[in-house]
Structure formats: C-alpha cells, structure tokens
Amino acid sequence: EEIALQEDTLLAAARHGAVLISPCISLGEKRIARAALEAGFPLVVLLENGFPEFYKPPAQYFSACENGSLLMLAPWPYHSEKRMISREQCLALNTFARQLSSEEC
C-alpha cells in the first residue's frame, strides 16, 4: 500500500517534468522504475556494476536509452564475477542519487 502511494506520487511528479533517479535496489524501487519506463518518463538508474566494453542494455532499457528517456550510470568499474551488493554499496548508491537530485548539481 505504501509503495503504491509512493508510485502514484512519483509518477505524478514525472508527469509534471521531474526526472526519477534510483539505484533500483528494493522491489518497490524496481516497481516504480518499471512503471516510469513503461510510461515513457525520464529515468536515471544507478548501477552497482559498471559496463563491459561492448555492453548493450536489455530490450526495454535499450529502447528507453535510444529514445533519450533513460540514463544508466555506474560509479564503479565493471566486474565479471557474480557478487551480492553490499550494504555499503547500497548506501553509497542512495547517496549518489540524493546528490544527483539536489539543486546544487
């Protein structure tokens, strides 16, 4: 219920020109980001893993990048091993999201 309320609030803001920024860590964040993409709203996604040399995003992300509604950023270099995201990385990604969304940027 709380996530649905957040989704409504954030999508309404996006309808009025806000750009959503998220590391898409929690299920709720992923749900809202998916809804924003489906509606064609601008979205910035922060990723834990960087990009390999010839990276191509998955289909929906690729289309959104192609039409200019998605920006994918990764503050750390690419790694090929499977890793669980750490709490410290989650906190850092959330901090980056807050910094990107501040009026001082």
pLDDT band at 102 (very low <50, low <70, confident <90, very high): confident
pLDDT band at 33 (very low <50, low <70, confident <90, very high): very high
* 5 has pLDDT over 70: yes
Q: What contacts 96, CB < 8 A, 6 or more positions away? A: 23, 46, 73, 75
pLDDT band at 100 (very low <50, low <70, confident <90, very high): very high
Q: What contacts 20, CB < 8 A, 6 or more positions away? A: 10, 13, 14, 32, 33, 36, 41, 42, 43, 44
* 104 has pLDDT over 90: no
pLDDT band at 70 (very low <50, low <70, confident <90, very high): very high
* 55 has pLDDT over 90: yes
